[in-house]
Chains A and B, each alone.
Chain A
Amino acid sequence: MVIRYLTPDEKKNYAHTIIGYDALAIIVHKSNPIKSLTLQQLIDIYRGKIERWSQLGGVDKPIILISKQPNRGLLYLFEKGTGLFHPSNPANSNPAKTIATWAWDAGANNNNIVWTGGLPDAISYISLGSALAHIANGMPIKIIALDGVFPSAESIANHSYPIVGELSLVYHKDDSKAKKFIEYMLSDTAQKVIAKNKFNRVDYAK
């Protein structure tokens, strides 16, 4: 299952089916006074133009930037949403569009979340579903609004939240077992499970 968009090659070799939607949530430590960022501010933070929280009205300490390792699905979604590129991404030729080199590259989602929850000066992006699950577990993080909109089922469905990703299942075109699983995943029973795990159903808007 991927959240990123498939490359043309992948599309040629594999079949894929969207089984739900997720948003790229921006998270900071719970004690951080910042409640909202504009997309531009987020871009400026990640390209290293804004380095300290005090520049945004917060404490006078450096921002701990948390990003993702290359080949992580959320990094693709973030790159698409912000127009920035990971420093090692060969597609980028514009230094002004590079994610700051000092950003910490996280592997799994847990990594982003524990770093952000453990370090009060951190900022990270993460799948809304994961963020909500950890917040429910008591992790000291909070989701901030982007361009004044909090990520939610509604804001994902009506596209008012700027960075939304599709949850796709990728499979061999002639795999009949996979096709059966797809059918199951699109069934109401499976879609309920998706919703229960804080992701949006494919048919949420309807």
Chain B
Amino acid sequence: MQNKKFLYRLIGVNALILLIVFGTFFSVFNFLEHKLKNILEQRQNISMFYNSVNQVTSHLYQASMLDDAHYLTSAALTSNRALAILERLHEDGFNTRLLEENYNNFFRFTVSTTAFGLEHRLEEARGANEMGQQKKQELLTQLKEIEIKIDDKKDSIIALIETFMAISAFLLIIVVVVNVKLISNSFLVIRTKESEQAEMINAIGDGVYGVDKLGNCTFINHSALVMLGFSEHEVLNKNQHLMFHHHYPDGRAYPVDKCPIHLTVEDRKTRRVQETFIRKDGSQLPVSVTVAPLGKDKGVVVFQDMTTIKEEHDTLDRSANYDYLTQLPNRRLFMILAEQKIAESKRRKNLIAIAFLDLDGFKLVNDFHGHDIGDYLLEEVAKRFKATLRESDIVARFGGDEFVVLLDSPQSIDEVEETLKRIIQEISHPFHINDLSLQVGVSIGYTLFPEDESDINSLLKHADDAMYDAKQAGKGTLKRFQG
């Protein structure tokens, strides 16, 4: 910004300097040229005057030789021209009065010579001729002096013009040199700034790249290249939409007219979206993308790799809601899911069975074979529970060897009892771990909603109570809550 201002100012100052220097030069040069022209004119006038003097003499000579009055007229007219030239020189500032007086005398004696000659008064004619010649010599001497003066003037003006041109050329060179210096400095600063900005963009951890209105990549930073697995020359000036195509988070490709980058370049509005890029190796890169308009018709894309964040998020989600050992929902998640099912059941008026399951003989296995075997057994138990139940049913581990099952919309109590009995049966088969064959059982208590119209906590309590009854009645039995 600072530099732009500087450049504008430089251009302004330059224009001013050029205007002043060359405006002055132009007018002074014009003035001097006019002067010079004037002087050359004066020089020409002098030679014209000299010619006129000679012509006067020759006309008068012709008049006397040919006795023709017309030559007298010509002599008079030529004399008028000569005096007119002197008058012009006088107006130009030369003191020609003495010259004029001399000319008059020259003319006087030269005319007299002719007139006496025509009268054949030769003695007087000779005298007048001598005087005329003398006056002519004086006239020529004076003319020479004026010529020298004019030449001096001419030389000094030419010298002045030359000096002036040299000064102008020197000034021009200075202006050019200073300009080149200032402009190159200014460009250096701009370039440094630009390269610093480029380095900054490169240093940013987020991926950054630019697109033009055709969707071609105009620049791309280091982070973006690393994340996408491309090198710069593979990407620059190529259509980024085709190269690392934009996808919905589920991996489906955008049509171009739905592409947020394309839309932003069109409507110049900033967008933030979650989507998926495709790496050079074809793998998916979940990203959080910000697209902003850049310049007049371009756009800039800033994106972050969401892979790690998503994985962390998922892990956090799992540990909060799932049992790390059996991968079954934990109590917390079960409560949420169960409440949803209950709400649904109220609406649909269907049955829900909540069962509390407690393994029989698990403590013995744990104590006798160790925790690893115990844990493994729990995992296998969980698998058998899941295998026995439908997709819509829920089985959760509440801790230790306690599990809870929610049967989603069973048709009848019979169906409930049948399912739960099948669980007891499945668990009663021995588990084979390494070379061991382990035998556990399961006691189940359950309650039915909406018959047992309570909240989820009460329902669980009722099921637990029923399970306790089952334990009392002998292991591997099933009891329904009795209200």
Report the minimum CB–CB distance from B174 to chain A (whole Å).
53
With beta carbons under 8 angstroms apart, the residue of A111, A117, A137 that contacts B115 is A111
Of the listed stretches A12-20, A39-47, A101-109, A185-193, chain B binds A101-109
Q: Is the CB of A111 within 8 A of B111?
A: yes
Q: Is the CB of B124 within 8 A of A140?
A: no
> In the complex, which residues of chain A have a beta carbon less than 8 angstroms from the beta carbon of B77?
117, 138, 140
* A64-B104, A120-B80 given; A107·B116 CB < 8 A: yes
> In the complex, which residues of chain B have a beta carbon less than 8 angstroms from the beta carbon of A141?
76
B141: Cβ under 8 A from any A Cβ: no
Q: Is the CB of A110 within 8 A of B115?
A: yes
Q: Is the CB of B124 within 8 A of A107?
A: yes
Interface string of A111-144 (1 = CB under 8 A from B): 1011101111000000000000110011111000
Q: Is the CB of A137 within 8 A of B73?
A: yes
B108: Cβ under 8 A from any A Cβ: yes
Report the minimum CB–CB distance from B173 to chain A (whole Å).
54
B119: Cβ under 8 A from any A Cβ: yes
CA distance A141 to B73 in the complex (A): 10
With beta carbons under 8 angstroms apart, the residue of B73, B83, B115, B121 that contacts A138 is B73
Q: Is the CB of B72 within 8 A of A119?
A: no
> In the complex, which residues of chain B have a beta carbon less than 8 angstroms from the beta carbon of A114?
60, 72, 75-76, 111, 114-115
CA distance A46 to B78 in the complex (A): 27
* A64-B104, A108-B119 given; A113·B72 CB < 8 A: yes
B69: Cβ under 8 A from any A Cβ: yes
With beta carbons under 8 angstroms apart, the residue of B60, B69, B115 that contacts A107 is B115
* A107-B119, A108-B118, A110-B118 given; A117·B112 CB < 8 A: no
Report the minimum CB–CB distance from A153 to chain B (whole Å).
22
> In the complex, which residues of chain B have a beta carbon less than 8 angstroms from the beta carbon of A115?
107-108, 111
CA distance A138 to B74 in the complex (A): 9
* Interface of chain A residues 74 through 111 with chain B (CB within 8 A): 104, 106-108, 110-111
Q: Is the CB of A140 within 8 A of B80?
A: yes
With beta carbons under 8 angstroms apart, the residue of A31, A113, A119, A134 that contacts B107 is A119
CA distance A108 to B56 in the complex (A): 19
Q: Is the CB of A119 within 8 A of B119?
A: no
CA distance A137 to B80 in the complex (A): 16
Report the minimum CB–CB distance from B139 to chain A (whole Å).
14
CA distance A106 to B124 in the complex (A): 12
B240: Cβ under 8 A from any A Cβ: no
B383: Cβ under 8 A from any A Cβ: no
B310: Cβ under 8 A from any A Cβ: no
Interface string of B85-115 (1 = CB under 8 A from A): 0000000000000000000100110011011
* A107-B116, A134-B69 given; A140·B121 CB < 8 A: no
Interface string of B237-250 (1 = CB under 8 A from A): 00000000000000
CA distance A134 to B73 in the complex (A): 8
Describe A's contact surface by its main secondary structure: mixed
> In the complex, which residues of chain A have a beta carbon less than 8 angstroms from the beta carbon of B76?
113-114, 117-118, 139-141
Report the minimum CB–CB distance from B95 to chain A (whole Å).
14
CA distance A115 to B106 in the complex (A): 11
Report the minimum CB–CB distance from A64 to chain B (whole Å).
6
Q: Is the CB of B80 within 8 A of A108?
A: no
With beta carbons under 8 angstroms apart, the residue of A31, A64, A107, A119 that contacts B112 is A107
Q: Is the CB of A110 within 8 A of B108?
A: no
Q: Is the CB of B121 within 8 A of A134?
A: no
CA distance A114 to B73 in the complex (A): 7
B79: Cβ under 8 A from any A Cβ: yes
* A138-B73, A139-B73 given; A111·B80 CB < 8 A: no
Q: Is the CB of B83 within 8 A of A119?
A: yes
* Interface of chain B residues 38 through 82 with chain A (CB within 8 A): 56, 60, 69-70, 72-73, 75-80
* Interface of chain A residues 1 through 59 with chain B (CB within 8 A): 29, 31
| Nearest-neighbor residue (CB-CB) of A109 within chain B | B115
CA distance A117 to B115 in the complex (A): 14
> In the complex, which residues of chain A have a beta carbon less than 8 angstroms from the beta carbon of B72?
110, 113-114, 117, 134, 137, 139
Report the minimum CB–CB distance from B87 to chain A (whole Å).
9
Interface centre among A111, A118, A134, A138 (most CB of B within 10 A): A118
CA distance A177 to B78 in the complex (A): 46
> In the complex, which residues of chain A have a beta carbon less than 8 angstroms from the beta carbon of B119?
107-108
CA distance A133 to B73 in the complex (A): 11
CA distance A113 to B108 in the complex (A): 11
CA distance A141 to B75 in the complex (A): 13
CA distance A193 to B294 in the complex (A): 113
Q: Is the CB of A119 within 8 A of B79?
A: yes
> In the complex, which residues of chain B have a beta carbon less than 8 angstroms from the beta carbon of A118?
56, 75-76, 78-80, 107, 111
> In the complex, which residues of chain A have a beta carbon less than 8 angstroms from the beta carbon of B115?
106-108, 110-111, 114
Q: Is the CB of A110 within 8 A of B107?
A: no
> In the complex, which residues of chain B have a beta carbon less than 8 angstroms from the beta carbon of A107?
112, 115-116, 119, 121, 124
> In the complex, which residues of chain B have a beta carbon less than 8 angstroms from the beta carbon of A134?
69, 72-73
> In the complex, which residues of chain B have a beta carbon less than 8 angstroms from the beta carbon of A140?
73, 76-77, 80
On B, residues with C-beta under 8 Å from A are 56, 60, 69-70, 72-73, 75-80, 83, 104, 107-108, 111-112, 114-116, 118-119, 121, 124
Q: What are 20 A-B residue pairs whose CB atoms fall within 8 Å in the complex? A: A31-B80, A106-B112, A107-B116, A107-B121, A108-B118, A108-B119, A110-B69, A110-B72, A110-B114, A111-B115, A114-B72, A114-B76, A118-B107, A119-B79, A119-B83, A137-B69, A137-B70, A140-B76, A140-B77, A141-B76
Other A-B pairs, 6, CB within 8 Å; known A117-B76, A117-B80: A110-B114, A110-B118, A113-B76, A114-B60, A119-B83, A119-B107
**Which 3 pairs of residues, A with B, have the shortest CB-CB distance?**
A117-B76, A118-B79, A111-B115
